[in-house]
Chains A and B, each alone.
Chain A
Amino acid sequence: MIPFRRSRPNRWSNGPTGQNRVALTQVARVAAERLFASLDMPATYNGTFAIQESRWADPLSILPFTGQKMAGSLLFTAPLEVISASSPSPEHDLENLIDWSRELANLLVGNLKTSLLRQGVGIELGIPTSVIGGDVRVALPGESAVGLSFQDGPHSLRVVLDAYMDKEVVIREEDDEPLAAEESDASFDMMLF
């Protein structure tokens, strides 16, 4: 089990601000775009959105993460149509689709972790959970959470990164291009020992 930090150290900021916020938003966007492309999901980035004004009618999957320099959670929501179209499972009942939504959140944080590792920021992934309801509202501190919107045809996909970090951490923007395999030890599909 991963020990999850319940209160953040005093040296940590309330969340990314200034250039760190811009860079973290970009890193999260690139991580999501790489994942969507690898799953053949035709989702394109549609900018940031105001979290406080949002209502979440779709399955909402949440994955907490923690680390020495950064901790928080990632939220992912997409309509069932999008979840269903991208699911590798032939069974598309609600339970399977919610499971796939959780797995997508897991994959998103996995990609984000790989990107952050390249910058020397390690995080440990928690276990994803899901919420579903007709009018789900999520209270997140606006000063820390970054909301990213993606469009897949008429459907909107949303990724929220609610991250607190050590004030010493500086996040750099990622290269938008796909990574060459030799660019990082933390970038591979398979390794046999």
Chain B
Amino acid sequence: MKKIIIVDDSRTARMQGKNTLGGAGFEIVEAVDGKDGIAKIEANTDASLVLCDVNMPNLGGLDMLDSLKEETRSKLTFLMLTTEAEPRLVAKAKELGAKGWIVKPFKPELLLAAVKKLAG
């Protein structure tokens, strides 16, 4: 069972992700912001993918990516899930190694298709 870490300050968004991906057989670990995300990533070295919001308290998603060691970043697949659609931020995420960007509100089937493609 592949493990996905969902980093989002919205419990509704985490629950949506958990229901969509958990129902498809993925194991889900939740993190409530970027700081918690780093802790969960370090504690779950077997995770395949990190689904990550951008605007969060304490530490945002892009800052979280930037804070991770290159070695950690390269082992994981990052998929951004956010209300943002600004090209500058999308380019920044790509530069930091993210493999995709989904704009909220999202269709569950779209999220599942993206995660299956990226996490295998």
Contact = CB atoms under 8 A, between A and B. Distances in A.
Given A89-B15, A122-B86, A186-B85, 10 more contacts: A2-B60, A88-B15, A88-B105, A103-B104, A107-B105, A113-B86, A125-B55, A190-B103, A191-B100, A191-B102
- Does more than half of chain A's interface fall in helix, strand or loop, or is it mixed? mixed
Nearest to B55: A125
Contact of B83 (A91, A109, A185, A186): A109
Nearest to A114: B85
Interface string B48-71: 000000011111100000000000
A1 B56 CA distance: 8
B6 to A, nearest CB: 14
A89 B110 CA distance: 17
Interface of B: 9-13, 15-16, 19, 55-60, 82-88, 90, 94, 98-107, 110, 114, 117-118
Contact of A91 (B15, B82, B103): B15
Query: Size band of the A side of the interface?
Result: 35 or more
10 contacts: A1-B57, A107-B83, A107-B105, A110-B84, A110-B103, A185-B87, A186-B85, A186-B86, A187-B85, A192-B114
Contacts of A90: 15, 19
Given A1-B60, A127-B57, A193-B99, A188 B85 contact: yes
Contacts of A187: 85
Given A106-B55, A106-B83, A107-B83, A190 B12 contact: no
A110 B83 contact: yes
B55 A89 contact: no
In the complex, the 5 A-B pairs of residues with the closest C-beta atoms, listed nearest first: A110-B83, A192-B100, A100-B12, A191-B101, A103-B10
A2 B114 CA distance: 29
B80 to A, nearest CB: 9
A140 interface: no
A109 B60 CA distance: 17
A88 B87 contact: no
Contact of B100 (A39, A87, A117, A190): A190
Contacts of A125: 55, 83-84
B51 to A, nearest CB: 13
Contacts of A117: 85-86
B106 A189 contact: yes
Interface in A75-119: 87-91, 95-96, 99-100, 102-103, 106-107, 109-111, 113-114, 117
